A and B are shown apart, each in its own frame.
Chain A
Amino acid sequence: MAEDKKEKEYLEVNEEGFLVQPDKWNEQVACWLAKTQEGIEELTEDHWKIINFLRSYWEKHGLAPMIRLLCQETGFSLRKIYELFPSGPAKGACKIAGLPKPDGCV
């Protein structure tokens, strides 16, 4: 808990729980975002596979990948991704991976 408070001091999230400064992201931040914003207590290996892919894609292209690419690159089925991130890939997975909020109806 003490650690959580410390994190909060320097990490700012916007009103929807997305990081204000995406470059401040690291693995610890991901755990904290998962717990406080998405209610995911522990990030498993499967979670990390998706988070790492999202992160590296975003760092390269500056936007979130299509769901197709996410499924094909990680080898998970659509349903599995929804199981891992109940708020879905946009609001759940992208948020934990520290991406900014995508535009449009999300």
Chain B
Amino acid sequence: MKKIKIEANQEQKELTGKQAFFQNIDYSRALQLSTCVRCGLCAQSCHYYLTDREVKSIPAYKISLVGRVFLYYFGFQRKFWSWWLGSQKLDSSNLDEWTNILFGRCSLCGRCSLNCPMGIKIHDLVRFGRSILARLEVMPQGLASTIKTALIFDNNMGIKPEEWVETVKWLEQELRIERGSSSLFFPLDRFGAKILYAINPREAKFFPLSLLAVGQIFSEAQESWTLSSFNYDATNYAYFLGDDKLAAKFFKRLEASMKRLGCQILVLTECGHGFNAARWESPGWLGYRPEFEIKNVLEIVAEYVKEGKLKLDPSRHKLPVTLHDPCNLVRLGGLLEEARFLLKKAVTHFVEMTPHGIENFCCGGGGGQLAMTEFASQRLKAGKLKAEQIKKTGAKIVVAPCHNCLDQLLELNRFYQLGIQVKTVCEVVAEALIVG
């Protein structure tokens, strides 16, 4: 693996594996690293292992890489039984293995952690392993360049401010033409609005249908909302890198926009990791709780439907529809019911996958996998489980409230010839909306 520096200006002297390890370890992780009893239950919960049956894909093996290094530097027995325990130094000999396994064979979906009888947060330990690699400046090219772009611009796709402003104007026009109404708005930088809506830059650059849907829903519910002309990116790729400092920096951009526009609720687009990072991880990174509320757009839209602000006509969707639960939104984010509630109101034929909810399998696109081209074939192979799940439901439309999942599902559709349409929840809701 080549060394890649993310922040070019940072004059940091090169660390050794030992220093990187020492800087990142804390008590809770140290305890968890020593807790694994190698029972192997996690193997049955991992979509990588279930599709390739390789030992390297077993979650316990993945964290044993980190565990062995931990033992080498910290274990009190290390002087006597080092060879017997398999403890290992962290140096150039195992960096490649670390990268290929911790980045290439894990999507940080957390299904193993849920099924671990010892309660080990396995996915967090993998993230910890990644954070050490990041300290050593060893990381996959695609992930590094996405984060670099996010650092240079205010979003991970390198959208220039004027391009974004133009896009918002264009979206407003498109929406008015498409729905034949001039009372639809895309407010930009409206001070004092209740909601600040943070998007995934992918929506503005390539896939604006979800933005159009949200614009229509907010207009219909007569919500006081706004977009920001800068610092609007809901994603946080530093989360996948395990770099908490950088992740905090990205979150602070959203915080700055909230303060600048005086909004009360930060509403994030249908983005799994962005939601998990902002809602649950950010207080840990910042050291304090943000002063405003952080919600996902699904929660807000579900509220509208419950309050009767939106009326939906399910008869417009007659094809069978299924829901993919994004790991970061459901298992790690806790939004179990919102998407199902909305789909049941918006379509006539809703089918569940088996398993679903918190036990749902990852689509294979999480953990930054979509940004890491070097592991793409592995990612598609690991997505076989999801492809089979979808086939079994017989659904023609697969709904996923996460842009990462959407991309992976689109690829699975092509690769496994599923013949499905892939949509966000808001798109389906907007299509079922009774206007008036």
| A63-B158, A90-B207, A105-B200 known; A16+B376 contact, CB < 8 A | yes
Whether A68 and B166, one on each chain, are in contact in the complex, defined by CB atoms closer than 8 angstroms, is yes
User: How far apart sit A69 and B206, CA to CA, in the bound complex (Å)?
Assistant: 10
Name the B residues within 8 Å of A47 (CB-CB).
none
Q: Which of B157, B163, B208, B377 contacts A102 (CB 8 A)?
A: B157
Q: How far is the CB of B407 from chain A (nearest CB, A)?
A: 6
Most buried by A among B157, B170, B370, B411: B157
> Max chain B CB contacts within 10 Å: which of A67, A68, A105, A106?
A105
Q: Does B235 contact A (CB under 8 A)?
A: yes
Distance from B403 Cβ to chain A, minimum over Cβ atoms (Å): 5
Contact with B along A58-100 (1 / 0, CB 8 A): 0000011011110110000110001000011111000000000
Q: Smallest CB–CB gap between A45 and chain B, Å?
A: 23
- Interface stretch among B33-41, B142-150, B383-391? B142-150
B202 touches A78 (CB 8 A): no
Of chain A, the residue at the smallest CB distance from B144 is: A103
| Distance between Cα atoms of A68 and B206 in the complex (Å) | 8
Judge whether A15 is part of the interface by a CB distance below 8 angstroms: yes
Q: What's the minimum C-beta distance from A87 to chain B, rounded to whole angstroms?
A: 6
Q: Which residue of B lies closest to A37 (CB)?
A: B414
- Shortest A39–chain B CB gap in Å is 7
Given contacts A72-B170, A88-B206, contact A103 B370 (CB under 8 A): no
Residues in chain B near residue A87, CB distance under 8 A: 410, 414
Contact B371 A104 (CB under 8 A): yes
A101 CB-CB contact with B under 8 Å: yes
Q: Is A14 an interface residue (CB 8 A)?
A: yes
Given A68-B167, A87-B410, A91-B411, CB of A103 within 8 Å of CB of B206 = no
CB < 8 Å: which of B202, B235, B377 contacts A15?
A: B377
B344 close to chain A: CB less than 8 A: no
Closest to B208 in A: A67
Instruction: Point out the residues of chain B lying under 8 angstroms from A104, CB to CB.
Output: 146, 149, 156-157, 201-202, 205, 235, 237, 371
Most buried by B among A63, A66, A90, A103: A103
- Nearest to A72 among chain B residues (CB) is B170
Interface size class of A (residues with CB under 8 A): 20 to 34
Once A14-B373, A104-B371, A106-B370 are accepted as A-B contacts, the answer to whether A66 and B403 lie under 8 Å apart by CB is: no
Find out whether the CB atom of A103 lies under 8 angstroms from the CB atom of B414.
no
Q: Please tell me if the beta carbons of B202 and A106 are within 8 angstroms of each other in the complex.
A: yes
* Docked pose: A66 CA to B153 CA in angstroms: 15
With the chains together, A28 CA to B200 CA distance in Å? Answer: 35
B337 at the interface (CB under 8 A from A): no
Given the interface pairs A105-B235, A106-B206, the reply to whether A15 lies near B156 with Cβ below 8 Å is: no
List chain A residues, Cβ under 8 A from B158.
63, 103
Partner of B205, one of A72, A82, A90: A90
Contact between A103 and B156, CB atoms less than 8 A apart: yes
One digit per residue, 1 when the CB lies within 8 angstroms of any chain A CB and 0 when it does not, for chain B 9-23 equals 000000000000000
Establish whether residues A78 and B371, one from each chain, have CB atoms under 8 Å apart when the complex forms: no
B159 in the interface (beta carbon within 8 A): yes
Contact present for A14 and B376 (CB under 8 Å): yes
Closest residue on chain B to residue A81 by CB atoms: B206
**Partner among B149, B205, B377, B414 whose Cβ is within 8 Å of the Cβ of A39:** B414
Q: How far is the CA of A50 from the CA of B371 in the complex (A)?
A: 25
What distance in Å separates the Cβ of A42 from its nearest Cβ neighbour in chain B? Answer: 18
Question: Complex formed: what's the CA distance from A25 to B411 in Å?
Answer: 23
Q: Give A106 to B205 CA distance when docked, in angstroms.
A: 10
Give the residues from 317 to 374 in chain B that come closer than 8 angstroms, CB to CB, to chain A.
370-371, 373-374
| B157 lies within 8 A of A103 (CB) | yes
Interfacial chain B residues near A101, Cβ < 8 Å: 142, 373
A105, B370: Cβ atoms closer than 8 Å: yes
Contact call A103/B146, Cβ cutoff below 8 A: yes
A105 with B202: CB separation less than 8 A: yes
Can you list 10 contacts pairing A with B, beta carbon distance less than 8 Å? Answer: A15-B376, A64-B205, A66-B159, A66-B167, A66-B204, A67-B208, A88-B207, A88-B410, A89-B207, A105-B403
Top 3 A-B residue pairs of the complex, sorted by shortest distance between their CB atoms: A15-B376, A90-B206, A103-B146
